[in-house]
Every structure is written in C-alpha cells, then in structure tokens.
C-alpha cells in the first residue's frame, strides 16, 4: 500500500510531493499526460505563490526565466494611465511579481521531483474512487489498475474525477468570460518605438473589455497579452476544439481589436495584427460551486487546487491557491503520519486545516470576482464612466497596495498555528 497517492502533476501535485519529500513521507504522482506534452500560455505568480516555491528552493531558478515586475498600470481606452497597483514588491513582500511561461514552471517542478527521486507515473488516467476504508482509500485507473494508499490527494484540476465522490453534483460551470493569449516580440512592433503612452505591464480597460499586456521573459522583449472576452458556452469538447483552432482565435481577436474605432490604444491593434497565429491559446473561465469540505467522510481523500475551488484567472491567484493548499496540506499530513499521532484526532486536524484555508479562499474569490466584473466590457457610456470611477477610487483610497496586502503577505507556514 502506498503512503500518499497524488493525482495530477500540474501545479499543486508536484508542489505537494516536494513538501512531503521534505518530511520524508513517500508518495507517487499519477498524471494523465505524457512528460513532453506541451501547454502554451503565460502565468503571473504573485508574492504568495513565489513564497511557496521559495520554501522549496525553486524560486531563484524561476526568477531568472521570467519577467520580474512590481507595478501593474491600469489605463483607459485612450491609454491614459488611471493608476498603478503593486502586484509584488521586494520591500513589502520580499518578492516582486513574476510573469513566466506556464510550461517553465511545470518543467522546473518536474525536474525537482526527479532530482529528489519522486516517482511520477505518466499516462495514468484516474477514473474515480473505488472505495474508502478505515485506514486507506482505493482509486481506479482507466487501464484497469486499482491503487490503495493511506491518503489520496486529488490535484487533478477543474474536471477532477475525485471531487464528485466528496461532493456529488459539483460540476464546473462556464462563467461567461474567456481569455485569449498571444505573444509578439517587442522588436516587431512599430508603435513601441513611438510614444504609445503605456507603461508595461499594463491592463487596458476599453469600452469592449480588457486587454493586458505583459512582458514574459527575463529581458522583457517577449510581450504576452491576455484579452478577456465575453463568450457563449461551447461545452467541454467545444472549448478544447477552439483551443486547437488558432485560426478561429485569430479571427475573434481581429474582429474585436482591428477596427480603427475599437476603443483601444494603437499598440493593442498592432499587437493583434502582428501576432504569429501559432502563439495563440485560449481558456474558458470556469467556476466550481462552493464546497463545504475538501475531504471525504473518513478523511482519506482530499481535493486541492482547481479541483477544490476554481478561481477565475482575473485575480492572478489560481496557481497561488493551488501552491498554498499543497504546502499547508503537507504540514497536516506530516503531523498525521508522525508515529505519535492518535488516529482519533484525524477529523479534528483536517477540519482545522479546512477552516484555515476556507477563510482565505473565500476572501480571494471575492477579490478576484470584483476584478472580473471590472474586466467585462461596458457598452453604455455611463457604465463605463462608473467603472473608471471605481478604478480611480481604488487607487485614491487604498493606495498602490490596492487593498491586497493580506493576499500577498500570506505565509503558508501560518497554518501550523491554526493546527495547534
Ligand atoms: C487562462 C488562464 C490564466 C491563468 N493565469 C493565472 C495567473 O496569472 N496566476 C495564477 O496564479 N493562476 C492563473 N491561472 C490559474 C492556474 O493555472 C490554475 O489555478 C492552476 O494551474 C491550478 O493548479 P492545479 O494543480 O490545481 O491544476 P492543473 O494545473 O490544472 O493540473 C491538473 C493536472 O492533473 C492532470 N489530470 C487531470 N485529470 C486527471 C486524471 N483523471 N487522472 C490523472 N491526471 C489528471 C492534468 O493533466 C494536469 O496535469 C490561470 C488559469 C487560466 C485558465
Ligand atoms: C481616458 O481618460 C481621459 C481623461 O479622463 C479622457 O479624456 C478620455 O476620453 C478617456 N478615454 C476613453 C477612451 O475613455
Ligand atoms: C527572453 O529573454 C531571455 C533573457 O534575457 C533571452 O535569453 C531570450 O532569448 C528572450 N526570448 C526570446 C524569445 O527572445
Ligand atoms: C495584479 O493586480 C491586479 C489588480 O489588483 C490584478 O487584477 C492582477 O490579477 C494581479 N496580478 C497578480 C499576479 O497578482
């Protein structure tokens, strides 16, 4: 019997494995994909995400492979900067924010797992829970194999195969927004040379939605962008099809951003025009209903990361929450698997962990949802004016910290106090 089986080797899975390894707890990762399957797109890692990676000793390597920045500028459709918010700060939080290819983060995590001798079983698709017993749980795989472990942690993303066992009927739903990302090299852009008036990274709020422009490599010459568009639901297969259909993505962007009167600065138009089609990726923003618990009745199965709570990408906190879940749960499992632990206390310690994490996730989702509302397009002038006013007010009254200090300053080690 395994000690800990982890399903999914995305963001939360390998991080949990590495923290367990630190506590000398054996575990095995089971991942649906192949080691070399590629996924495009960039991700922004806020200080609270980077603090977790720093505890693993991986931050210093990642830092040199992405774009480090403190301030994110907010601009209106004319390119007028309405204000700046800190996404990171060495001085305030010990970490600048980091914009980086998602695949680089995965690559470094996997490499670290391999270095530590953690077993990853690729091409293993979990299909669900077979049974939860007194001291273990049994999960099933598509190839017919069953695996028994003292603890099973599902870090298998938004379409988790374990979540329905813990919380039946908790299917993800489409939020009405989608993101399209593309990449352009700075040297290919004419309008960057002229005075385009935008400080990068920048989030532009136009009359037809928002458009974020963020450098994504260390020297900053690789410019990624992230357009948030309203969309109709296409269903899971439809979204997967769209992600592969880069021509259609290109047309969606052209339609919205190429017309002269698009309500965006010239740089936006040029970025869309010059985007190599093969760099385009897309994502529907999904949400998962609020779950009262992230553990099974006998506390042998857990869900973490997107499997437990899908956070819309508008707050840049999805991976961060997945990392924090993983680190905090590792501390819980280290206590529970210690030789002096009384098994009768299992439900109590798990519920303390859940309380601690619930309180935080609820606040983060609230912050993120407000951000998402701001990003929607506002066809009516007054609504748009009101939106600008809200942004202005945020800067005026909260200062550049934007009321986000509590979010970025969090240290996952603080769960230890809550478990005591
Ligand atoms: C467009 C977009 C932009 C984002 N931007 C940001 C950002 O800027 N900052 C940020 O912090 N977050 C961002 N996020 C969110 C972030 O990517 C996710 O929250 C994060 O990846 C969640 O990690 P996870 O480990 O829970 O799930 P995932 O990273 O989705 O990993 C799940 C893993 O499980 C595997 N798997 C799935 N099903 C099975 C199965 N049945 N059996 C075995 N394996 C399985 C998958 O192949 C995958 O490897 C963004 C998300 C999107 C969609
Ligand atoms: C941006 O703000 C400036 C100053 O308030 C205003 O003159 C301009 O019209 C705004 N642009 C758009 C597109 O809203
Ligand atoms: C991004 O920056 C790094 C470091 O400065 C550089 O080595 C790399 O070539 C750049 N990427 C591209 C695609 O130019
Ligand atoms: C940066 O701050 C803005 C505004 O609060 C937010 O929308 C964005 O998601 C943040 N990004 C990160 C990585 O924290």
Region 383-412 average pLDDT: 78
> Which residues, listed in sequence order, are joined to residue 74 by a DSSP beta bridge?
83, 203
The answer, yes or no, to whether any atom of ligand 3 lies below 6 A from the CB of 174, is no
116 belongs to a structural domain: yes
φ, ψ of residue 344 to 5 degrees: the values are: -65, -20
Q: Are 282 and 322 in contact (CB under 8 A)?
A: no
What's the pTM value of the predicted model, to 2 decimals?
A: 0.94
What does the CA dihedral 110, 111, 114, 119 come to, rounded to 10 degrees?
10
Has residue 80 got a pLDDT over 70? yes
Q: How far is the CA of 82 from the centre of ligand 3 (A)?
A: 30
Atom of ligand 4 nearest to the CA of 371: 7
Distance CA 137, CA 357 (A): 23
Q: Give the pLDDT of residue 371.
A: 66
SS3 56: coil
Radius of gyration of the chain (CA): 22
273 belongs to a structural domain: no
Q: Give the pLDDT of residue 315.
A: 75
Q: How far is the CA of 335 from the centre of ligand 4 (A)?
A: 34
Atom of ligand 1 nearest to the CA of 15: 25
Region 24-51 average pLDDT: 93
186 belongs to a structural domain: no
Has residue 28 got a pLDDT over 80? yes
Kindly indicate the confidence band of residue 372, based on its pLDDT and cuts at 50, 70 and 90: low
Distance CA 342, CA 337 (A): 10
Q: Give the pLDDT of residue 36.
A: 82
Q: Give the pLDDT of residue 276.
A: 96
DSSP 79: -
Domain that holds residue 310: 2-173+287-419
210 belongs to a structural domain: no
Has residue 159 got a pLDDT over 90? yes
Distance CA 321, CA 310 (A): 9
The answer, yes or no, to whether any atom of ligand 3 lies below 6 A from the CB of 94, is no
Atom of ligand 1 nearest to the CA of 99: 8
Distance CA 217, CA 64 (A): 9
User: What's the CATH code of the domain at 118?
Assistant: 3.50.50.60
89 belongs to a structural domain: yes
The answer, yes or no, to whether any atom of ligand 3 lies below 6 A from the CB of 325, is no
Region 211-235 average pLDDT: 94
Region 134-143 average pLDDT: 97
Q: Looking at the 3D structure of the chain, how many domains does it have?
A: 1
Q: How far is the CA of 66 from the centre of ligand 3 (A)?
A: 9
Residue among 160, 155, 119, 114 nearest 13 (CA): 155
């Amino acid at each position: 019997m395994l000690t800990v089986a982890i399903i999914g080797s995305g963001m939360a899975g390998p991080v949990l494995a590495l923290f367990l390894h630190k506590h000398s707890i054996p575990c095995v990762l089971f991942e649906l994909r192949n080691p070399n399957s590629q996924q495009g797109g960039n991700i922004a890692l806020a200080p609270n995400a980077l603090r977790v990676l720093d505890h693993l000793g991986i931050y210093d390597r990642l830092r040199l492979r992405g774009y480090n920045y403190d301030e994110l500028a907010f601009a209106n459709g004319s390119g007028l900067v309405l204000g700046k918010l800190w996404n990171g700060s060495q001085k305030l939080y010990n970490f600048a924010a980091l914009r980086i290819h998602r695949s680089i983060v995965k690559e470094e995590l996997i490499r670290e797992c391999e270095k530590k001798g953690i077993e990853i079983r690729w091409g293993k698709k979990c299909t669900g829970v077979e049974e939860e017993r007194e001291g273990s749980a049994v999960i099933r795989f598509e190839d017919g194999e069953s695996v028994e472990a003292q603890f099973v942690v599902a870090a298998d993303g938004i379409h988790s195969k374990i979540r329905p066992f813990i919380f039946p009927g908790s299917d993800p739903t489409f939020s009405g927004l989608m993101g399209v990302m593309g990449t352009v090299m700075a040297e290919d852009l004419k309008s960057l040379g002229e005075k385009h008036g935008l400080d990068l990274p920048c989030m532009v709020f136009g009359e037809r939605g928002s458009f974020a422009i963020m450098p994504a490599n260390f020297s900053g010459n690789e410019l990624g962008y992230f357009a948030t568009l309203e969309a109709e639901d296409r269903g899971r297969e439809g979204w997967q099809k769209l992600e592969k259909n880069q021509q259609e993505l290109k047309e969606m962007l052209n339609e919205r951003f190429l017309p002269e009167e698009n309500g965006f600065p010239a740089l936006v138009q040029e970025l869309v025009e010059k985007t190599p089609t093969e760099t385009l990726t897309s994502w529907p923003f999904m949400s998962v209903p609020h779950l009262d618990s992230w553990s099974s009745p006998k506390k042998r199965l857990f869900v973490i990361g997107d499997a437990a709570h899908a956070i819309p990408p508008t707050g840049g906190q999805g991976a961060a929450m997945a990392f924090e879940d993983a680190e905090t749960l590792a501390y819980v499992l280290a206590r529970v698997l210690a030789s002096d632990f009384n098994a009768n206390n299992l439900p109590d310690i798990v519920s303390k962990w859940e309380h601690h994490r619930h309180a935080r996730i609820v606040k983060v989702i609230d912050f993120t949802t407000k951000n998402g509302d701001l990003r929607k397009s506002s066809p009516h002038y007054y609504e748009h004016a009101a939106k600008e006013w809200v942004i202005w007010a945020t800067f005026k009254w909260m200062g550049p910290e934007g009321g986000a200090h509590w979010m970025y300053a969090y240290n996952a080690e603080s769960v230890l106090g809550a478990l005591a």
